[in-house]
């Protein structure tokens, strides 16, 4: 099968030298891609962290890198339609930066209220200066790339989605995961909490979820994929 895996994190640029990102390393996606290749599949992995991805020399293997949300979106638009299985485990930015501002003279923010004229000055630059007492970064919601897979990119193959939550129980995680899976029309969901992410994950769908040891996730996931995507 032709497998496409996304891995790693996206960067949200603030200026040409600064960005917002997250803590995820791409190791899970790299391990899943390596397991797919080991089983004889054709694998393409898009990752922000190619240094943690195995350097496999094979005609069945390709690794492409990205940095920003837009770069990942372009790679997905190119690879998703030509794949039979998409495993989307990249940790994608939820918001785009839409400007950086400083309060104008006479404007202050005290708790939930502005005082003065409530005017903001645009401080956008190639490298934002550090001379303002405070800066305000405007963030606007980014589209969900995983939700484009079935719609914009007309993917009809086997889709695996990943979901991470913080500070919730396993029962609550399962409920959140299943709702998220249905929202994106994914076949299977892999979900975990930040607190347990190094040790375990839940995998499943509407038929139920099971807990797997994190180290066994790539093998267990492809046992499922090879059975269900092949129509067994």
The pLDDT tens digits of the residues spanning 104-121 come to 988 888 888 888 888 999
Rounded to an integer, what distance in angstroms lies between the CA atom of residue 119 and that of residue 139? 18
Q: How much is the average pLDDT of 202-218?
A: 96
Q: How much is the average pLDDT of 141-149?
A: 97
Q: What is the structure's pLDDT at 93?
A: 94
Q: What is the structure's pLDDT at 114?
A: 85
**pLDDT at position 36 over 60:** yes
**pLDDT at position 230 over 80:** no
**pLDDT at position 132 over 60:** yes
In this structure, how many other beta carbons lie within 10 angstroms of the beta carbon of residue 162?
25
**Placement of tokens 């139920």 in the chain:** 208
Q: How much is the average pLDDT of 1-18?
A: 95
pLDDT band (50, 70, 90) for residue 228 = confident
pTM for the whole thing? Answer: 0.92
pLDDT band (50, 70, 90) for residue 146 = very high
**pLDDT at position 204 over 90:** yes
> Can you list the pairs that 148-155 forms with residues at least 24 positions away whose Cβ atoms lie under 8 Å?
148/73, 148/76, 149/76, 149/80, 149/86, 149/88, 149/184, 150/184, 150/185, 152/77, 153/76, 153/77, 153/80, 153/81, 154/81, 155/80, 155/81, 155/83, 155/86
**pLDDT at position 9 over 50:** yes
Q: How much is the average pLDDT of 147-168?
A: 96
Q: Do residues 38 and 25 touch, judged by C-beta distance below 8 A?
A: no
**pLDDT at position 5 over 80:** yes
Q: What is the structure's pLDDT at 232?
A: 47
Q: Which CATH number fits domain 2-94+142-228: 3.10.20.90, 1.10.10.10, 3.90.470.10, 3.40.50.10300?
A: 3.40.50.10300
Give 101's Cβ-side CA count (13 Å radius).
16
Beta bridge partners of 210: 203
Q: What is the structure's pLDDT at 115?
A: 86
**pLDDT at position 43 over 60:** yes
What would the DSSP string read from start to end of 22-49?
-S--SHHHHHHHHHHHHTT-EEEEEES-
Q: Do residues 34 and 52 touch, judged by C-beta distance below 8 A?
A: no
Domain ranges of the chain: 2-94+142-228, 95-140
């Amino acid at each position: 099968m032709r497998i496409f895996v996304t891995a790693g994190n996206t960067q949200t640029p603030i200026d040409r030298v600064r960005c917002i990102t997250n803590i995820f390393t791409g190791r899970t996606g790299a391990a899943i891609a390596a397991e797919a290749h080991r089983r004889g599949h054709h694998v393409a992995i898009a990752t922000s962290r190619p240094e943690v991805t195995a350097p496999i020399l094979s005609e069945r293997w390709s690794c492409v890198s990205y940095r920003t949300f837009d770069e990942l979106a372009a790679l997905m638009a190119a690879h998703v339609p030509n794949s039979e299985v998409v495993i989307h485990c990249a940790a994608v930015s939820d918001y785009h930066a839409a400007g950086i501002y400083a309060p104008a003279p006479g404007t202050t923010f005290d708790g939930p209220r502005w005082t003065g004229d409530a005017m903001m000055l645009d401080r956008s630059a190639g490298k934002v200066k550090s001379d303002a007492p405070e800066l305000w970064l405007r963030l606007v919601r980014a589209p969900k790339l995983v939700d484009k897979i079935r719609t914009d990119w007309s993917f009809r193959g086997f889709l695996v989605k990943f979901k991470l939550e913080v500070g919730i129980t396993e029962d609550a995680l399962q409920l959140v995961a299943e709702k998220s899976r249905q929202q994106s029309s994914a076949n299977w969901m892999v979900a975990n909490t930040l607190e347990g992410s190094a040790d375990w994950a839940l995998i499943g769908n509407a038929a139920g979820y099971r807990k797997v040891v994190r180290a066994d996730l790539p093998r267990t996931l492809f046992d499922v994929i090879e059975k269900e995507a092949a129509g067994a």
